[in-house]
């Protein structure tokens, strides 16, 4: 959808809109920040938009109160994992972002990797682990440094970069405290970048790549959302060929999982070989003041408000009546 098409859009035609925010995941705080930003943006465009927190209200109220569309600004489990999407399918209320299956698969980093590997897409080596002892064995196999993280969590919550066997047990316990499914992943040293995708099917397109330069290379929860110390470079400063290759890789990763509407993929570029490696894909990306999709969209000529309206207009169902 072009900028002009968004500007010509009839906001009233969106009907009564619920911005789903908050929820019950570990990312509730960030979701409230995203949701309130989206809510203000939609209202500024003339949309009849209302806040709706599934942690405080029963989803059936959406139908009873006549909501016609939902903008999903939930992050993590119970919002980004196919559960809310499934409920909205049953209620028959179109929603933003990927459908039930794509959302569920993308939330599971192991399943995502298995599909990408099957499709020939590069992603770092990994091991699923069930104990601290297995984590030590994975460290020996994958090498140092190694990433230990929950399989079904986001925003780097529960994630640790370990450089010795002695660190493995505590890192495993931290990850397992967030999710009983824990994985170890080969660490790729190099540039950290992210790339959003907007659209569905043949009309899907990758937005400009953002290069992330975090303090001491530590792009953790605090540096993502609550400090101004992280640098976000867009234009990314990479050679044109590298940026185009990352955009092509991310677009294929998006379509392989049957995503629609929007998502954002995180990628590491090996410093020695310059090969890009897919880390994960986020199907309900952040929309806070520090968030990356709005930043990339702005570089592409799309304001935050127009981005929100465009995403809302793309709301759909897997199985429309």
Can 133 be counted among the known catalytic residues?
A: no
User: Which one from 28, 34, 286, 305 is the annotated catalytic residue?
Assistant: 286
Q: Is 274 a catalytic residue?
A: no
Distance CA 24, CA 15 (A): 27
Contact indicator for 159, 221 with CB cutoff of 8 Å: no
CA distances (Å), 321 to each of 66, 73, 89, 91, in order?
A: 17, 24, 10, 11
- Over 237-296, what HEC string results? CCCHHHHHHHHHHHHHHHHHCCCCCEEEEEEEEECCCCCEEEEEEECCCCCCCCCHHHHH
**155, 223, 284, 314: which is the annotated catalytic residue?**
155
Catalytic residue among 80, 89, 280, 305: 280
Catalytic residue selected from 172, 225, 254, 304: 225
Beta strands in the chain (DSSP E): 16-20, 48-52, 69-72, 126-129, 146-150, 160-162, 182-186, 190-198, 205-206, 210-213, 231-233, 262-270, 276-282
Check 158, 264, 306, 314 and give the catalytic one.
264
* Catalytic residue list contains 27: yes
Rounded distance between C-alpha atoms, residue 174 and residue 178, angstroms:
7
119 is catalytic: no
Active site residue 304: no
Strand partners for 268: 192, 277
225 is known as an active-site residue: yes
296 is catalytic: no
SS3 label, residue 231: strand
Clarify whether 316 is annotated catalytic: no
Diameter of the chain measured on Cα atoms: 59
Q: Which position among 22, 23, 27, 99 bears the catalytic label?
A: 27
**Residue showing tokens 């400090």:** 227
Smallest CA-to-CA distance from 178 within 192, 163, 160 is with 160
Catalytic residues: 27, 155, 225, 264, 266, 280, 282, 286
């Amino acid at each position: 959808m072009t900028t002009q098409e968004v500007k010509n859009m009839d906001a009233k035609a969106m009907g009564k809109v619920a911005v789903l925010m908050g929820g019950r995941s570990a990312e509730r705080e960030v979701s409230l920040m995203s949701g309130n930003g989206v809510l203000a943006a939609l209202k500024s465009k003339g949309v009849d938009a209302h806040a709706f927190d599934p942690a405080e209200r029963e989803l059936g109220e959406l139908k009873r109160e006549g909501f016609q569309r939902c903008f999903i600004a939930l992050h993590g489990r119970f919002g980004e994992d196919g559960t809310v999407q499934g409920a909205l399918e049953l209620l028959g209320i179109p929603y933003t972002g990927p459908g039930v299956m794509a959302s569920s698969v993308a939330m599971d980093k192991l399943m995502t990797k298995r599909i990408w590997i099957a499709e020939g897409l590069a992603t770092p080596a990994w091991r699923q682990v069930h104990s601290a002892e297995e984590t030590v064995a994975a460290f020996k196999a994958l090498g140092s440094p190694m990433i230990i993280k929950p399989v079904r969590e986001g925003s780097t919550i529960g994630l640790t970069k370990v450089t010795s066997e002695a660190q493995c047990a505590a890192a495993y316990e931290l990850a397992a405290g967030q999710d009983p499914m824990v994985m170890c992943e080969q660490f790729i040293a190099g540039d950290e970048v992210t790339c959003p995708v907007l659209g569905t099917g043949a009309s899907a397109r990758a937005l400009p790549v953002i290069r992330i330069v975090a303090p001491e290379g530590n792009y953790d929860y605090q540096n993502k959302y609550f400090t101004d110390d992280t640098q976000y470079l867009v234009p990314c400063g990479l050679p044109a060929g590298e940026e185009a290759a990352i955009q092509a890789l991310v677009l294929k990763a998006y379509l392989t999982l049957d995503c629609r509407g929007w998502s954002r993929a995180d990628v590491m570029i090996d410093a020695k070989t310059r090969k890009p490696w897919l880390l994960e894909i986020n199907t309900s990306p952040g929309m806070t003041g520090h968030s990356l999709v709005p930043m990339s969209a702005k570089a592409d000529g799309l304001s935050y408000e127009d981005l929100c309206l465009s995403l809302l207009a793309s709301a759909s169902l897997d199985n429309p009546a």
